[in-house]
Each structure stands twice: as structure tokens, then as C-alpha cells.
């Protein structure tokens, strides 16, 4: 997507041919800053500190992290060390392991002298594929927004509610949940987005709002608890969210608070769609509540918020009494029964094993 007229992806190989360029997402929305990763440890840190975040993007960054490791030491020992450390940075999104496995498998039994080049090639493939995949998700999801527009009698904008950031910043380009919105907007279908702020890190208020603003898509930021009220009053036509891990049976695990939106959507007959690339499906598990590890992050993320003052400084402020503890669960699981459909790069399916296997027959047992 373009930032002030300049096309960007979220990750790229710099002109030196080896270091990796990224957007520092912790600086958004107040500053657009790019930075470089020169070591695999920096790649691991960028993922853990959420300088890059979003399931597909942490996968791509992990893959380039292995390439950076292989560049300095193409031994098996280094491969295993970098793999383990990077894989442990964030436990919930399966895309990270998927991407690391893809690089590691390609290096199996390959001579050390070839390993760096192979890793860079696979990482680049992962990125290219992610762009094509997200674009296809956008095309399939567009049909849902078109249908919703027809239901309004073409009389008003389609209102879509989304949670967290499943836009291009969370992927390599386009995004998952936001890709259909970009496609609809670009096609001239009036669309308005309710953006959940997404405490505690505010990916909605800081990142989704910034993206939509940059692209000129009408949107309104709402507090995380507003969605149910809007749905009760007919102000949401459909919800579209992303997922960090989708089980074989169609449960989806996404940013904390997603489940509550799905419950409210069910109670109000609002369609609740989840957009995902194939790399987000964990075919080895079925029950998301029991089997998906939920990341727990530092309590400071809840206790301290940062924002821009009237004089333009970005400062942290403490919002709780001294001595109060905070819990910071990063994700929750929305059971398949609450999901209207899964929007994938191969089409839209029911959130069930049967639905997924129709689109991905190669995973049938």
C-alpha cells in the first residue's frame, strides 16, 4: 500500500542485498519510521517487542531472521538455536512456526555454503505468496461487502466492524480482514469501518485507523466495549476479523476481545467472518480453547499507555493506582459455532473441518 504516495510493504531486503527493512510499528500512528534488522537476534527482538506484529508478518520476519543467522553461521547448531529462540518469541500465531519450518526444511542436508542464499529465497517466496494470498482473500471477501451493499438497497455505506489490526501492517501487504475493505473502497462501494481500539496495545486505534486514514477509507474508532451496543442498534452490517491460529474444526484464535464481539454478533444476527491465509491453519489441533497456547504479556502494557501531548511529544502515562496488578492475556478463542464463515485465499467456507477440507482437500485424512 502507499504511504504518502510511496508504495511500501511491511518488510523488504535493503539495497545492500542482505539487511532487512521493516516499519517500526511501535512508532505509529504518530511517526512513520523504518528501521533495519542486521542480525537474527534483532529479528527475534523485533517480533517479541512487537516492532513488527500480525500473524503473517511475524512469519515473514522469522524467515528472514533465519536467513540473517545463516549468513553469519550456516551450521546446524546455529540453525537450531535461531529457530528455537525465534519460535519462542510469540507462542500463539502459528504462522511463525509455519514459516520457520519452511525455511528449516529447505535447508535440510544442504551444504553450508548454499544455506544463506536458500533461506533468503524462501523468505522472499513467503513474502510474495503472502501478498498474492491476501489479495485473493480481499477478492473473496469483497463479495460479502457487495452483498451487504445490495441489502442496503445501495442506499448507504456498508458498516463493517473489525478488531485489532488485520490490515496490511500485520501482513506483507493488503492485510487479511482489511483486504476486502480496501477492495470494496477501491471499487467505489461505500464502506465505513468501526475500528475497535483494541486495548491494551491499541492496534486498532494506532494501526488500523492509521492504515484506513492513509488510504482514505471512512472509519470511526470505538472503545472495545461499544460493538455490542452498535449491533443492537443495526449499525453493524458485518464483522470481519483476522486470526492468529485456526483449528482443523474451525475455531479461531485472535486478539483478546474478539470472542466477545462474536457473542454480540450472534445475539444480534450480525454475520461474523474471519479472514485468514492457509498459513494460519493449524491442522494438528481441533479444540482451540483447550489446545492453543495464549500469549501472556507484561502487565506494564495494561498499566501504562502512551500518547501524544498537545506539544507533540509522545509520552507514557500510568492509568492505574500504584500497587494494582494487571493481567494481560493477548488472545482469545472464538469457537467455530460463532463464526459465520472463513474467508480464505481459496474462497469462503464454513468454519468446520468439512468446510476447510472442501477448500484444502490435500489436508483430508
Q: Identify residues 176-205 at the interface with ligand MRU (CB under 6 A).
A: 176, 203
Q: Give CA–CA dist 59/11, Å, rounded.
A: 11
Q: Give CA–CA dist 364/353, Å, rounded.
A: 9
The bridge status of strand 347-349 relative to strand 331-334 is unpaired
Which region among 54-62, 65-73, 121-129, 304-312 touches ligand MRU (by CB under 6 A)?
54-62
Q: Give CA–CA dist 151/305, Å, rounded.
A: 40
Which region among 48-56, 63-71, 142-150, 209-217 touches ligand MRU (by CB under 6 A)?
48-56
Contact status, residue 257 vs residue 265, Cβ threshold 8 Å: no
Q: Give CA–CA dist 64/102, Å, rounded.
A: 12
* Smallest distance from ligand MRU to CB 329, Å: 11
Q: Give CA–CA dist 77/229, Å, rounded.
A: 54
Which region among 52-60, 102-110, 265-273, 357-365 touches ligand MRU (by CB under 6 A)?
52-60
Q: Which of 91, 180, 242, 250: binder of ligand MRU (CB under 6 A)? A: 242
* Smallest distance from ligand MRU to CB 171, Å: 5
Q: Give CA–CA dist 295/310, Å, rounded.
A: 34
The residue (of 79 and 211) whose beta carbon lies closer to ligand MRU is 211
The residue (of 55 and 145) whose beta carbon lies closer to ligand MRU is 55
Report DSSP state, residue 207: I
CA distances from 290 to 122, 251, 286, 293, 334 (A): 33, 11, 9, 8, 12
CA distances from 221 to 153, 175, 356 (A): 26, 19, 33
Long-range (24+ apart) CB contacts under 8 A made by 20-23 are 20/61, 20/64, 20/68, 22/46, 22/51, 22/52, 22/61, 23/52, 23/169
Which region among 35-43, 61-69, 166-174, 357-365 touches ligand MRU (by CB under 6 A)?
166-174
Q: Which of 20, 23, 55, 122: binder of ligand MRU (CB under 6 A)? A: 55
Q: Identify residues 255-314 at the interface with ligand MRU (CB under 6 A).
A: 255
Question: Is residue 215 close enough to count as binding ligand MRU by CB under 6 A?
Answer: no
**Total of residues contacting ligand MRU (CB under 6 A):** 18
Is 244 noted as a catalytic residue in this protein?
yes
Binding track, positions 319-338, relative to ligand MRU; x by CB under 6 A: -----------x--------
Q: Which of 53, 140, 192, 248: binder of ligand MRU (CB under 6 A)? A: 53
Neighbours of 108 (CB within 10 A): 8
Residue among 107, 125, 124 nearest 115 (CA): 107
Q: Which of 254, 334, 340, 344: binder of ligand MRU (CB under 6 A)? A: 254
The residue (of 119 and 162) whose beta carbon lies closer to ligand MRU is 162
The residue (of 119 and 243) whose beta carbon lies closer to ligand MRU is 243
Question: Is residue 243 close enough to count as binding ligand MRU by CB under 6 A?
Answer: yes
* Smallest distance from ligand MRU to CB 279, Å: 10
Neighbours of 327 (CB within 10 A): 8
Contact status, residue 134 vs residue 176, Cβ threshold 8 Å: yes
Q: Which of 164, 212, 252, 339: binder of ligand MRU (CB under 6 A)? A: 164
* Smallest distance from ligand MRU to CB 134, Å: 9
Angle at 122 between CA 21 and CA 37, to 5 degrees: 20
* Smallest distance from ligand MRU to CB 305, Å: 16
Which region among 69-77, 99-107, 120-128, 241-249 touches ligand MRU (by CB under 6 A)?
241-249
Options 130, 173, 224, 244, the catalytic residue:
244
Q: Residue 341 pairs with which residues in a beta bridge?
A: 273
Contact status, residue 350 vs residue 342, Cβ threshold 8 Å: yes
* Smallest distance from ligand MRU to CB 166, Å: 4
Contact status, residue 171 vs residue 127, Cβ threshold 8 Å: no
Contact status, residue 214 vs residue 3, Cβ threshold 8 Å: yes
Binding-site ranges for ligand MRU (CB under 6 A): 53-56, 93, 164-166, 170-171, 176, 203, 242-244, 254-255, 330
What is the set of active-site residues? 244
Amino acid at each position: 500500500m502507499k504511504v504518502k504516495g510511496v508504495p511500501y510493504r511491511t518488510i523488504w531486503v535493503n539495497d545492500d542485498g542482505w539487511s532487512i527493512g521493516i516499519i517500526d510499528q511501535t512508532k505509529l500512528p504518530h511517526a512513520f519510521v523504518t528501521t533495519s534488522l542486521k542480525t537474527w537476534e534483532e529479528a527475534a527482538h523485533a517480533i517479541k517487542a512487537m516492532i513488527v506484529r500480525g500473524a503473517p508478518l511475524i512469519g515473514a520476519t522469522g524467515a528472514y531472521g533465519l536467513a540473517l543467522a545463516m549468513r553469519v553461521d550456516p551450521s546446524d547448531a546455529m540453525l537450531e538455536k535461531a529457530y528455537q529462540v525465534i519460535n519462542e518469541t510469540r507462542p500463539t500465531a502459528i504462522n511463525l512456526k509455519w514459516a520457520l519450518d519452511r525455511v528449516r526444511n529447505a535447508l535440510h542436508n544442504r551444504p553450508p555454503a548454499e544455506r544463506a542464499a536458500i533461506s533468503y529465497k524462501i523468505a522472499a517466496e513467503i513474502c510474495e505468496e503472502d501478498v498474492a494470498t491476501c489479495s485473493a482473500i480481499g477478492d473473496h471477501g469483497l463479495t460479502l461487502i457487495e452483498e451487504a451493499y445490495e441489502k442496503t438497497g445501495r442506499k448507504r455505506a456498508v458498516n463493517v466492524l473489525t478488531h485489532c489490526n488485520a490490515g496490511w501492517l500485520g501482513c506483507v501487504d493488503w492485510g487479511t480482514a482489511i483486504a476486502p475493505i480496501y477492495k470494496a473502497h477501491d471499487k467505489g462501494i461505500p464502506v465505513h469501518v468501526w475500528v475497535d481500539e483494541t486495548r491494551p496495545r491499541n492496534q486498532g486505534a494506532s494501526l488500523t485507523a492509521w492504515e484506513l486514514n492513509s488510504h482514505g477509507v471512512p472509519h470511526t474508532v470505538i472503545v472495545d466495549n461499544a460493538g455490542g451496543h452498535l449491533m443492537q442498534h443495526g449499525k453493524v452490517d458485518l464483522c470481519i476479523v483476522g486470526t492468529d491460529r485456526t483449528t482443523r474444526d474451525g475455531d479461531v484464535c485472535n486478539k483478546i476481545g474478539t470472542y466477545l464481539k462474536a457473542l454480540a454478533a450472534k445475539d444480534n444476527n450480525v454475520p461474523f467472518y474471519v479472514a485468514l491465509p492457509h498459513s494460519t491453519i493449524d491442522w494438528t489441533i481441533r479444540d482451540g480453547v483447550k489446545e492453543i497456547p495464549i500469549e501472556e504479556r507484561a502487565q506494564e502494557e495494561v498499566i501504562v499507555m502512551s500518547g501524544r501531548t498537545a506539544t507533540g511529544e509522545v509520552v507514557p502515562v500510568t492509568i492505574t493506582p500504584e500497587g494494582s496488578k494487571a493481567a494481560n492475556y493477548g488472545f482469545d478463542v472464538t469457537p467455530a459455532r460463532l463464526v459465520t464463515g472463513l474467508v480464505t485465499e481459496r474462497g469462503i467456507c464454513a468454519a468446520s473441518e468439512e468446510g476447510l477440507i472442501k477448500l484444502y482437500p490435500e489436508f483430508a485424512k
